[in-house]
Structure 1
Amino acid sequence: METIKRGELAIPRLGFGTFRMPGNDCQPVVESALEVGYRHIDTAEMYQNEESVGAAIASSGVARDELFVTTKVWHENLEPNALRRAFATSLEKLRLDFVDLYMIHWPSRDMNLGAVLETLVHLKEAGLARGIGVCNFNMPLIKAAVEDIGAPIACHQLEYHPFLDQTAMLAYLRSKNIPLVAYAPLAQGRAASDSTLARIGSKHGATAAQVAIAWLLDQDGVIAIPKAQRRESQQANLDALAVRLDDDDRQAIAALRKDQRYVVPPFAPQWDA
């Protein structure tokens, strides 16, 4: 598996997302993902499945140093003491001594960003999180974190797929050598039925969903974390690593509508800021 290096971190470019897999049903799904070859597992406090992810890791037999495990703090716990408590709870549920990446899941309008990032840095310095990152930050917020505060942001996780333009954000992150982790890389299932992606896929002996993943991984500095409950779909997503797009494919995907944002909770930041 190809990785992207960020400081001491080597982040596998194709990870496994666990959003909307709450409770015990998540454990066999993650066990299956580890069996077929995933080594980058993405979870979060809000997903309510850290215990299941931890149990799957414990039963997998995969050595800890072969795994890259991400979890995230919910936006309601961004006061420093609450964040520390949330982190300790996540670590306990995951049955781990450390996580590879600990992230702010969503920004909060009333957070003290400097204090929050300082708390994350302390967790990193204590060896409890090998890297720290942010999710769902708009441009002013990521610039504040990186330029004004100088936080060692390991990566930025955002909704990104063939129907949503992230050109400006990707250019900025590349200028700072910060990877972009694409969540909802299949546009919550919509990529699988897109006619343009299907046509490209037929040329390469691939599915439309595999083309969507290949398109993301074709881009410098991009990591994708698709989720898949069925083992066949987990394997198919891994097989997307072998799909090689050409310039005609890239042009066809570039012509798709790029204004389709599907994850818009009421607490999201102003994206056009």
Structure 2
Amino acid sequence: MERVTADDGTPLVLERHGDPVPGRPPVVLLTPALADRTDLVALAEALAPSGLTVGYDRRGRGGSGDNADALDGAVARELADLRAVIAAVGGPVVLLGHSSGAILGAVAAAAGLPVAAVVMFEPPFLPHPGARGLPADLPQRLWDLATEGRGDEAVALFQTGAVGLPAEMVAQFRQSPGWGRMTAMARSLAYDTAVTSEHEDPADLAAGLTVPVLVLAGRGTWPELAESARRAAEALGAEHRTVEGDHHALVPAAVAPVVTDFVDRIVAGQLPQRP
């Protein structure tokens, strides 16, 4: 485990798995909402035999802090954080993101960060034009609740307002052993919903995304996410693969071989940059 410092002085924790391979870009993992780098350790270890794989705690979760005193500029801060991580690792890198982390990866590549390719696992774009997106005020409401010490309410609001779970199910989740861990990351939900709500349509990223893109979805995922993945692949001119997995869960044993093959083809020059 090591630390890097963000532009605003926020400490960020990262962890390396495997060894660098000359000519092969490192893979940097981007976590979904309510997760930190430890949730993707199994994936990192499955990818590590092929080369350096790096997990890091996105701002406001795990071992990373958050020095911001307002939500404004949330996505820009996450991009600056990622740039600091890439500088520590050595770019260009392959960004592999899950859910909101997938959208963050695409935004980073489109913004010109040193990225060789993007892998997106079930990015939560709108599944079709005209679909109802997140409430416009949701990121700010989550931020306010978390900064007021009401993390429990923030997580519950995210589960009902963003994920769409019924309140009765959330009430049951509140009794689970993992609820306290989620409430500790409550403030980070404002970042997840900010990047998702600001980038609902994958077509808006197409012009800036010139690197190879791979979009993955689990065979048993929710229909809206399956459609979102299909739409993203079409809009971005990306490869689209279906792997084993249910209910938005990433299965390392299913994802790692597909990602390894994708990076192999990049290294071999078989996947040129998109026009």
Per the normalisation by structure 2, the TM-score is: 0.33
Per the normalisation by structure 1, the TM-score is: 0.33
